[in-house]
Structure 1
Amino acid sequence: MKIYSFGEETKPAILLLPGTCCHWKRNFGHVIPLLQEHFYVLCASYDGFDETEDSTFPNMLIETAKLENYIQKNLGGQLFAAYGCSLGGSFVGLMVQRKKIHIRHGILGSSDLDQGSSFGTWAMAKAMTPLLGKMLRSGKLPVWAKKKMEEKAGAEYAQAMLQLFGCSAATQELPSMAFVSNTSIFNQFFSDMVTPLEDDIYVPGTKIHCFYAVKMGEEYENRYRRHFVDPDIRYHAMQHEELLACYPEQWVEEVLASCRLEGRGMEENDFEERHFTEAERAQAEITESGNPRKPEGEDGKKMLERMNESHHNVTGWALSLWEIQGNDNILDIGCGGGAALSRMAEHVTDGHLTGIDYSPVSVETSRATNAESVAAGKMEILEGSVEKLPFEAETFDKIVTVESFYFWPNPQENLKEVRRVLKTGGTFLLVADIYEKPGLPREVKDNIRKFHLFNPTREQFKNLFREAGFAETRIHTKDGEDWICVEGTK
């Protein structure tokens, strides 16, 4: 094994760990120059996967011990941060679990953390090794496999991932992987899946951050939460390692934010303390206690009342994009305190309005806000989830969600469920007062992290709506604000 180093040793050290059957340059060559501004960058090149060595990958535990020995010898056993790309995340978990060294920030890059039985994994590794070996030696993915990958995830992502893996033309920046032996491939593949990672790993002074690629499926988020105590889950509407492969600048921003270095040069301390007024502090305490993800208790009611006011302007702006007809049948998902329903009720005369929310407190508050319309039979408020909407297909002319998409459990699948109950030709408005873009205020970014908000970019919103099956997607933003309204037509 070799460890390549870049930048100034006086800066905080970050260790980069490649993925399965990957070369360090292919995984990280495009981000190392960006990281050097902030870190002393160390990049591991595993046994059997470095062209300058005649070696064979042994197993995960032996390689882990070598990493630990390097850190003990060269860094006094202290590592500021470690980022594991895919399989590299297993190394991060193992080093934290073993406690031979101390890592302040352990970052998993959409790692799958698969575990399997010895026999089943042995059979799988035996079958996969010759296929992987052939791909690495030829530098090409079979045509059928490449086509399937492009159809599922898009040509840009497919090409970027093939470069990361080694299935593209070799250059000085993207070395050939033809030197890798089948023995190294088998040992790495097999040992990764049979080397156990404990549940509820916790080390004082260590924070685990997981770059969760939502399109991989919610079982991966569940694994992160099973293996680590209170991990910092960072949601991205992307495929496996798409952030690293396709959006290097945004990837670096996430690494910096995870390590609390964002906008602070070389300081290792936490974010600068912000001085709140007593009123601001009280409101922040109510928000945290009231639980914006699923409002609860008396503080939840207070928070909803405040949100009815604070969301007034962005809601009005978004609804102005619609021409609400008197006979429209409209659904509000995540109706919260019911203010949006109340505003739409002013325009619906012969139609019907339905609100749905999975918080009993929100349902109660929304019914109280709209008591007159509910009593008249013009509106109903139901308790339920966007995961399984209790309506027939093609039910609603219009659907809206205001400030709730951040918390949807499975955004891609949930959007498909929204489309299912929308009539053909109908429109869905997704309204939010922030979206991911450069220049968001620090306190906004802090809240995104604190409450684990799913906050896509404009382009990611388009991709989500397209993959959910919407025929047309339009993005609306407002000058001078961070607002966004994504309009999908079925």
Structure 2
Amino acid sequence: MWAEKLGKQLGRPTWSIGGWLVSRFFIRRNRVLEENAVKLCDIQPGDTVLEVGHGPGLGLQSAAKLLTDPNGRLIGVDYSEYMHSKASELLKEHLASGKLTLHHCDVAVLPLADNSVDKVFHCNCYYFWPDLRKGASELHRVMKPGAVMLTTLRLEMVSYMASKQVMPKDNWRPDLYMAALRDSGFTNIRMEDKQSQNITFQAIYATALK
């Protein structure tokens, strides 16, 4: 029972004690993954960048620093109303300036135009998508030809949590996620081991093929 409740809070934190604890966990444990996802995306000053499952906003905060061109745009989406609120508070100056737009929505139904995004990143996110194929296909739709998507995770930790039945079904498995990307039209799909601040993590790359 506790594992199922934890899994639900990790996938969609709520306005509750559990949601607050998960938010603190994200801030403490996800920062390295968020910052490295941004770094590995090779964001350019004028890019339009999307983060899926932005959580409290750490990755968006890091990415915003790189979008120094007036044409640079940042978009965040999250299924959790609580995380949408937390990120809105953290990034209120970027929201006021018009550089950042946040959407409270499902990854399978993005309020974005076709072929409009240069870079996509997400961290500890895809395992909570109800349908990997629908999520991957929707991301492929909004990405420009040749656009790059980068996801980061700590596979050892995710695998351990899956063994405790915290993760829903088998969606956490990188091979299933990468297969969904391939089926949705992505190419150059690969997973690499990386290190940062004495932490080993995995980065999954994919390029939108049109």
Per the normalisation by structure 1, the TM-score is 0.38
Alignment partner of 1:478 out of 169, 190, 194:
194
SS of aligned partner of 2:16:
helix
User: Alignment identity in percent?
Assistant: 22
Letter in structure 2 aligned against 1:322: C
Q: Does 1:339 align with 2:55?
A: no
SS of aligned partner of 1:362:
helix
Q: Does 1:456 align with 2:141?
A: no
Letter in structure 2 aligned against 1:369: L
Is this contact kept in 2: 1:435–1:455, CA < 8 A?
A: no
Q: Does 1:330 align with 2:49?
A: yes
Q: What is the alpha-carbon distance in structure 2 between the residues aligned to residue 446 and residue 289 of structure 1?
A: 12
- In the TM superposition, residue 415 of structure 1 has moved relative to its aligned partner by 0.2
- In the TM superposition, residue 290 of structure 1 has moved relative to its aligned partner by 7.8
Is this contact kept in 2: 1:324–1:347, CA < 8 A?
A: yes
- In the TM superposition, residue 481 of structure 1 has moved relative to its aligned partner by 5.3
Letter in structure 2 aligned against 1:361: Y
SS of aligned partner of 1:291:
helix
Letter in structure 2 aligned against 1:355: G
Is this contact kept in 2: 1:398–1:426, CA < 8 A?
A: yes
Return the structure number with greater relative CO, CA threshold 8 A, min gap 6: 2
Q: What is the alpha-carbon distance in structure 2 between the residues aligned to residue 320 and residue 328 of structure 1?
A: 14
Q: Does 1:412 align with 2:108?
A: no
Q: What is the alpha-carbon distance in structure 1 between the residues aligned to residue 42 and residue 202 of structure 2?
A: 18
More strand by share: 2
Structure 1 spans left out of the alignment, 5+ residues: 1-229, 231-283
Counterpart mapping for 1:259-408 below 5 A: 288=6, 291-299=9-17, 300-349=19-68, 350=70, 351-408=72-129
RMSD: 2.6
Q: What is the alpha-carbon distance in structure 2 between the residues aligned to residue 463 and residue 404 of structure 1?
A: 16
Is this contact kept in 2: 1:329–1:398, CA < 8 A?
A: yes
Q: What is the alpha-carbon distance in structure 1 between the residues aligned to residue 194 and residue 184 of structure 2?
A: 25
Is this contact kept in 2: 1:331–1:354, CA < 8 A?
A: yes
**Count of residues paired in the alignment:** 201
Counterpart mapping for 1:45-194 below 5 A: none
Letter in structure 1 aligned against 2:78: D
Is this contact kept in 2: 1:357–1:384, CA < 8 A?
A: yes
- In the TM superposition, residue 468 of structure 1 has moved relative to its aligned partner by 1.3
Letter in structure 2 aligned against 1:341: L
Q: What is the alpha-carbon distance in structure 1 between the residues aligned to residue 152 and residue 201 of structure 2?
A: 8
Aligned to 1:489: 207
Q: What is the alpha-carbon distance in structure 2 between the residues aligned to residue 340 and residue 485 of structure 1?
A: 15
Q: What is the alpha-carbon distance in structure 1 between the residues aligned to residue 7 and residue 16 of structure 2?
A: 9
Deviations 1:37-66, CA, capped at 9 Å, x for gaps: xxxxxxxxxxxxxxxxxxxxxxxxxxxxxx
Q: What is the alpha-carbon distance in structure 2 between the residues aligned to residue 423 and residue 312 of structure 1?
A: 27
Alpha-carbon distance change, 464 to 289 in structure 1, aligned in 2, over 3 angstroms? closer
SS of aligned partner of 2:40:
coil
Alpha-carbon distance change, 288 to 465 in structure 1, aligned in 2, over 3 angstroms? closer
Is this contact kept in 2: 1:386–1:414, CA < 8 A?
A: yes
SS of aligned partner of 1:484:
strand
Structure 2 spans left out of the alignment, 5+ residues: none
Deviations 1:395-432, CA, capped at 9 Å, x for gaps: 11111111111100100121011000001111111222
